Chains A and B, each alone.
Chain A
């Protein structure tokens, strides 16, 4: 089961939009089950986000993006994904998602409203009990600092796993708060986290073994995906090379200006 903690969006340029669209289409092909909405993903506001993700069939969640000044959510606060376990029994995975708290963050929201960020702990406290009641495994997707993730895991002991990404930080070693594992995967899609989970007789997490895969050239390419991305790259607008005369002129001006006293 594939999850993403958000901030998948490239810069809002023609090339960036094409990359983001390709990435989202690929995430759909790969079968991502839940994606947290990150701050970057809303850089042009709610309506732009909805337009870019319309019809993809991906599940986007956020437990703490709200209409400014309220606790009214604009995305589903969680999702429960039922998958077939290796034993053949169904396993219910509850997924919440949070972004870092910022009292000054705001973006254009739906229907003339503004979006704001509620405190993650307040929102987890609101929704975790119902997610726990409906799930065998509860995962928090975290687009906030690892220190904040530790603090949340320490407080909310009904979580099973916190997986996140923020500021390029990634784990090389196992990190826990009590029985809750905390795994950060870095940025730019260079690493992918893996957690192998076994359940006890009561369908609660019995053990978790995790790995972080650094996607070097040793990992084989998927031919179909590679071809599809090559097609997109061919369409990307190429930046115009600087004109030679201008470059020379600029270079010539700098030393004169620097030594002109």
Chain B
């Protein structure tokens, strides 16, 4: 007959061993991964919401510019 004391003597190291092996097999906690950076998409120059003029506070200075007009005074297209 195996005494209680004898069983404990072997069980405790066995549990420690199994726990050790088990813990060794658990993958290490993953390092926190930063969310992917938003792609650097340039802003569109279209006026938002199909409006004729963009809404917003009046700026200090407003520039309007054209070029290569080559004499066009009539609607085209």
| A positions within 8 Å CB-CB of B | 1-11, 16, 19-20, 22-23, 26, 36, 38, 40, 83, 85-87, 89, 91, 93, 137, 139, 141, 143, 161, 163-166, 168, 171-175, 183-199, 209-213, 217-219, 229, 232-233
Contacts and interface: CB of A to CB of B under 8 A. Distances in A.
Most chain A CB within 10 A, of B44, B46, B47, B63, is at B63
Contact of B63 (A38, A194, A217): A194
B65 to A, nearest CB: 4
Interface stretch (B3-11, B17-25, B51-59): B51-59
Contact of A172 (B44, B65, B66, B67): B44
Nearest to A36: B67
A197 B62 contact: yes
B39 interface: no
Contacts of A166: 67-68
Contact of A199 (B54, B61, B72): B61
Given A188-B72, A190-B76, A195 B63 contact: yes
B61 A91 contact: yes
15 contacts: A2-B63, A6-B67, A6-B68, A8-B71, A23-B71, A86-B60, A93-B61, A93-B63, A137-B61, A141-B67, A173-B43, A174-B44, A194-B62, A199-B60, A229-B74
A255 B66 CA distance: 47
Contact of A211 (B45, B67, B75): B45
Contacts of A190: 72, 76-77
Interface in B25-46: 42-46
Grouping DSSP codes into helix (H, G, I), strand (E, B) and loop, the B interface class, with mixed when no group exceeds half, is: loop
A163 to B, nearest CB: 4
A199 B74 CA distance: 37
Interface of B: 42-47, 52, 54, 56, 58-77
B40 to A, nearest CB: 11
Nearest to A85: B60
Contacts of A19: 71-73
A74 to B, nearest CB: 20
B64 A1 contact: yes
Contacts of B62: 1, 194-197
Contacts of B56: 196, 209
List the 5 closest A-B pairs by CB distance, nearest first: A10-B71, A165-B67, A5-B67, A187-B68, A196-B59
Contacts of A175: 42
Given A173-B45, A188-B76, A213-B47, A5 B66 contact: yes
B59 A209 contact: yes
Contact of A86 (B42, B58, B71, B76): B58
Nearest to B63: A195
A197 B76 contact: no
A8 to B, nearest CB: 5
A35 B44 CA distance: 27
A171 B45 contact: yes
B69 A188 contact: yes
